[in-house]
Amino acid sequence: MKFKLFLFFSILLTVSCAQTPSSKPITSVTQEELSEITLLDVRTPEEYSQGHIENAVNVNWFDEDFDKQVEKIDKDETIYVYCKVGGRSAKAQQRLFSLGYKNVINLEGGYDAYKQN
């Protein structure tokens, strides 16, 4: 009986810990994926104006009202977030999780890696 109980809790723990990946290389994102998600660019408006991924929504990570600006995005949507190289987007991803967003993917390498691809 103890073994069955142990097995049950082991399976439960494994299933409950399984999540969608929280990051992926920006160079592996397909155009089909981009049409199905919300793409969030957390760079400054100046960086964004110098080039960005098509259909990306720009919300500056450094803005004091970052939290308020992202409220426009549905918390159940899949959000891919990127910045210049990955640092700000990782922080923004954690902030979004803390605000109740459920599926936020950090795009590793950022816009610099995207341009080189």
**Predicted pLDDT of residue 32:** 95
Domains belonging to the chain, first-starting first, are 20-116 (3.40.250.10)
Which H helix or E strand runs over 39? strand 38-41
pTM of the full predicted structure? 0.81
Calculate what percentage of the chain has a pLDDT beyond 90: 81
Spot the catalytic one: 39, 83, 90, 105: 83
**Predicted pLDDT of residue 5:** 43
Distances (CA, A) of 72 to 22, 29, 61: 21, 24, 15
**Predicted pLDDT of residue 1:** 58
Q: Write the CB contacts of 20 (distance below 8 Å, at least 6 apart in sequence).
A: 103, 105
Is 83 in the active site?
A: yes
Q: How far apart are the first and last CA of the chain?
A: 56
49 phi/psi in degrees, rounded to 5:
-70, -20
CB 75 within 8 A of CB 64: no
- The string of pLDDT tens digits covering residues 45-62 is 999 999 999 999 999 999
- The string of pLDDT tens digits covering residues 3-45 is 454 444 444 444 444 445 599 999 999 999 999 999 999 999 9
